[in-house]
Amino acid sequence: MILRLRSLLLAAALTGAVALSTLAAGAAGAEEVYWSGSRLLPVYSVGRDDNAISITFDCAWGVEHTDAILEALGEANVTATFFCVQFWAEEHPDYLKKISEAGHEIGTHSATHPKMSELSEEAVKTELTTSARAITEVTGRQVTLFRPPFGDYNNTVIETSLALGMMPIQWDVDSLDWKDLSAKEIAERVTSKVQSGSIILCHNNGLNTAEALPVILDTLRARGYTFVPVGELIYREHYTVDHTGRQFAAPEG
């Protein structure tokens, strides 16, 4: 109740600021992608016109704020996607199970959180297969999504991920909650940058993420957005990815 009250007060304070910042907002991160004709990209966002969006959480260190995040998502009836590192999953199997049993989608965030572009193809494959196996052993659910640590990748990483049946996922809206921004700052960043098909990046142990969540969820829903897990947002086949990492359904025929 206290968290919800603080969030309502925060929402009121945000109303004016968000209206101004939205005018100048663009998709965070995607415009910074290096692109050449031969460079493969993960999915940063999805070309949709139905206002569906996804909120995601990377799990690599700690769980101190995870219960509050799960509570906020549960109260809002939002299903999110959590990307879990293997060593985190093995250290906190109770939380991995709790996230899964709450109905949230779970992808891998690698086994050891390395810079994936520096690894050989075989090492990339090991990072993905062992981490997916560790998640499945706890949840009983197949892993079909992968987020590279540090947002770092190359063609080998993308090709190997796809070959293993795991769609590589980035984000186009970065909350920067790992920098311990205030709840107001987190909410302003997210709500000012979202567009239809956006993928929002948060962290399961962000200091002020849980307080910001009700504001983010309520504000975006009031604007007509709906929240779905990444697996329901993306296209699994017959798609293209443009130079910004935005995925589109391939034209029929």
Q: Which two tokens stand for residue 236?
A: 């699994």
Is residue 218 among the annotated active site residues? no
Identified catalytic residue from 58, 172, 174, 177 = 58
The Cα 197–Cα 78 span in angstroms is 16
Is residue 58 among the annotated active site residues? yes
* Residues recognised as catalytic: 58, 203
